[in-house]
Structure 1
Amino acid sequence: MDSRERGMISNQDLRNPIVRVVYTVMVAALAGLTVTMIYPFLTTIFNAFKSKRDIFTFPPKLLPQEWVWTNFTEGWEFISFGKYFLNTMYIFGGTMFFSILFIGMASFSLAHLSIPYRKGFTLFFMCTLLIPGSTYMIPNYLNLKELGLINTYWALWLPAAANAFWILLLKNFFDELNKELFEAARIDGASELRCFLQLAIPLSMPIVSTLFIFGFTYVWNEWFWTGILLSDADKYPIATAVYKYVISGENNSIGVNVQFGVLTIVMLPPLLVFILLQKQIIRGVNLSGVKG
């Protein structure tokens, strides 16, 4: 008997005509789904290299007839990427700091501290995952307004520290850490805060790295909520600036081809982050015990 690990369908299974037909249909469906997902990306990228007249030619063509590279330079100068990129990184840094600090302490408490009604608190946090985000958007805005945080980055940082999904990931990871290690640290006089900062966080770098990737993707792509909270254009992140000045039509001084150039520039960083670090994402989620 072959000791090698076999897949879900072996060559022997494919000898069955029914299995072969079902397998062919599955592959065709996955191929069609892949094409429908990749086509918008390819259209955006190739349109960024077209002239304005080339974009509106009929019938449309995927590849440009003439490669125009100036669309990227014009788009870069128009949108002031440097300023908005720094704003985005500033929002990302504060979001990750408060999220890892507060969500991490909450998850560590649920996993390693003997607090009353620990299972009830965990169930409460998990139940919030069933609530659509749009239902508490208005209450969140009113609360932030009463606190005087509108048009400040605090309005983005503080709510980010209440992410139930991140609590789920971190708690499941902390549950797998050796509890005897923390008991030994407590015997040596370490406080719970020191156990969290000097033991739990360094041992949890795989899942923390995954959360950094999730946080970067979210902050980079978020435009709606930040557009509501921030009224000062100088504080916009890059996604909100692109929506306001490129997509929404508030400024029509650039051509469609230059708009596609801007969208391509904005699209590439999170795409590259996902492609380069997808193994880290899968590894971190698997180590946390959450299987998709």
Structure 2
Amino acid sequence: MYVVLSFFAALSFWPFYWIFKTSLEAGGNVYKYPPSLFPWPATFANYVGAWKTVQLGGYYLNTIIIAGIGTFLNVLFSLMVAYPLARIDFKGKRIVLFLILLPMMIPVQNTLIVNYLTLKKLGLLNTYMGVVLPQAVTIFGIFMLRQAYLSVPKSFEDAARIDGAGELYIWWRIITPLIKPDVATLTIFQIITWWDNFLWPLVVLSDSNKYPLAVALVYLNSTFQVNFRYTAAGIVLSILPVIILFLFAQRYIVNAIAGGVKY
């Protein structure tokens, strides 16, 4: 079993390693066969060239702004919607939950025109908020946090009510801290999603100076037609923050998945 898993792990890892190796090569044919396993002679000149050629610093800032606003709104709104669906009894709750889950059957591409026309009426085209608002809350986030809220024993809530706590206090200070691993996991997923977001920013933003990294690298790919190593260096620079984030935060994902077994 370990041999089989190691084989598939190597297959998955090879494209990333090939991009990284290519970004460090000084010259020669990129598509040579058989491919070399190690870049020699290795150089960081491609990273310097890619950074200067497309001014990646500005696109990094755009991506951080979009990912920061989008993640904050998504986690906050998901918490606000998930709590009453999990902990409060009200008439029609099942219908509301069904209507929230129903759009999951609609492909995202089918909503582009409606969202675009709505943002046009609101005057939010070519703005960061125009990129963020249509995905400021997601069905995945609502359902995930609802399941997390359902796992909290009702005794915590009852004890807080006996002490005179209100609903808002119970939500924010009593119940929500008990699902921190799930909130952290959703935050990580949202950061990665916003960081790699490509299609919607390309549709909404007309000013290339506002593009996030994912769009900028593809849009400016013509700049690198004679030097694919610059493109490889740009790809490595774009995915490096996500890899670092995952390595430091993977324990939260493991905890959330382990806790999800009882759901």
Alignment of 1:139-218 (within 5 A): 139-218=114-193
Counterpart of 1:172, as a letter, is: Q
Runs of 4+ in 1 over 6 A off after TM superposition: none
Mean Cα displacement is larger for which, 124-133 or 261-270? 124-133
Alignment of 1:21-100 (within 5 A): 27-28=3-4, 30-100=5-75
CA contact (8 A) 1:51 1:68 kept: yes
Higher helix share: 2
Deviations 1:1-53 (A, max 9, x none): xxxxxxxxxxxxxxxxxxxxxx6xx953x444323211101110100111232
Following superposition, the deviation at residue 105 of structure 1 comes to 0.9
Mean Cα displacement is larger for which, 76-85 or 216-225? 76-85
CA contact (8 A) 1:169 1:290 kept: no
* CA RMSD, 1 decimal: 2.4
TM-score normalised over the length of structure 1: 0.80
Q: Closer, same or farther in 2 for the Cα pair 1:231/1:171, shift >3 Å?
A: same
C-alpha separation in 2, matches of 1:127 and 1:82: 40
Asked which structure has the greater CA Rg, the reply is: 1
2:255 paired with 1:283: yes
1:204 counterpart SS class: helix
C-alpha separation in 2, matches of 1:254 and 1:88: 27
C-alpha separation in 2, matches of 1:186 and 1:232: 52
C-alpha separation in 2, matches of 1:72 and 1:256: 12
Percent identical across equivalent pairs? Answer: 29
C-alpha separation in 1, matches of 2:22 and 2:262: 39
Alignment of 1:215-226 (within 5 A): 215-226=190-201
C-alpha separation in 2, matches of 1:290 and 1:271: 29
Q: Which runs of 5+ in 1 are unaligned?
A: 1-22
Q: Which runs of 5+ in 2 are unaligned?
A: none
The residue number in structure 1 matching 2:105 is 130
TM-score normalised over the length of structure 2: 0.88
Following superposition, the deviation at residue 70 of structure 1 comes to 1.0
CA contact (8 A) 2:124 2:130 kept: yes
Counterpart of 2:133, as a letter, is: L
Name the count of aligned residue pairs: 263
